[in-house]
Amino acid sequence: MNAASPLTPHPSPVITIDGPSASGKGTVAERVATALGFHFLDSGALYRLTALSAMKQGVALDDEARVAELAAHLPASFHDGSVWLSGENVTDAIRAEAVGEGASKVAALPAVRAALLDRQRAYRQPPGLVADGRDMGTVVFAAAVAKVFLTASAEARAERRYKQLIEKGNSASLTALVADMQARDARDSARTVAPLKPAPDALLLDTTHMDIESAVQAVLAHYALCKARSKQ
């Protein structure tokens, strides 16, 4: 018999890590995936790729039908530690501030979110998946075995972003970054489809005073606990 019975755990468990931007969830999710030998989904990258694709093709970011069409057929792939769009290495391009802004806009369109659903779910492959985003635990993998909502104060997140920018040789204003962080949180939390909010069964992990390694260990411990519970 191939179909798993309702009592058999799915062969590809999913750990969801959601939270606001610059909460450190991307780094934590990637390290958890490496520690467990699981696949990793950076769902934000798919929204960024959709926005970049629309910008390149001159499609207006509020043209829901056309942007959704692009999202449904994104010629994107992730390999060799890079992100590719139609054979072009866009690893750095999708991290540009303007593309982040665009991603936040297209992410508010219901048809775009619907178009990316199957693509995200296809990442669920043995031996398991760590999925990073905003609605992984609430919508895309609502039945995940372990869910985490990673957060940190807007000030702490702005400070982390500030350090990253300065290290890369860019100039930045901490005050402007805090305001930016608060504005983006408000937009991601207020949208009607899949707003940024913790799943009711998610572990809330506030990393304001926590380093990356402690956050990774906390997620791994939570997963071990959830896995043991799901076998009872």
Per rule CB under 6 A, is residue 44 in the interface with ligand DC?
A: yes
Distance CA 111, CA 96 (A): 24
The interface with ligand DC within residues 95-114 (CB under 6 A) comprises 100, 103-104, 107
Asked if residues 12 and 126 have their Cβ atoms less than 8 Å apart, the reply is: yes
Per rule CB under 6 A, is residue 222 in the interface with ligand DC?
A: no
Question: Which is nearer to ligand DC, 36 or 96 (by Cβ)?
Answer: 96
Distance CA 203, CA 218 (A): 10
Question: Which is nearer to ligand DC, 16 or 223 (by Cβ)?
Answer: 16
- In the complex, the smallest distance separating the C-beta of residue 50 from ligand DC, rounded to whole angstroms, is 9
Per rule CB under 6 A, is residue 21 in the interface with ligand DC?
A: yes
Residue 116, phi-psi category: left (phi > 0), alpha (psi -120 to 50), beta (remainder): alpha
Per rule CB under 6 A, is residue 180 in the interface with ligand DC?
A: no
Distance CA 104, CA 184 (A): 8
* Strand stretches in the chain, DSSP E: 14-18, 39-42, 76-79, 82-85, 88-89, 129-133, 146-151, 203-206
Per rule CB under 6 A, is residue 16 in the interface with ligand DC?
A: no
Question: Which is nearer to ligand DC, 59 or 103 (by Cβ)?
Answer: 103
Per CB under 6 A, residues contacting ligand DC are 21, 43-44, 47-48, 100, 103-104, 107, 133-135, 188
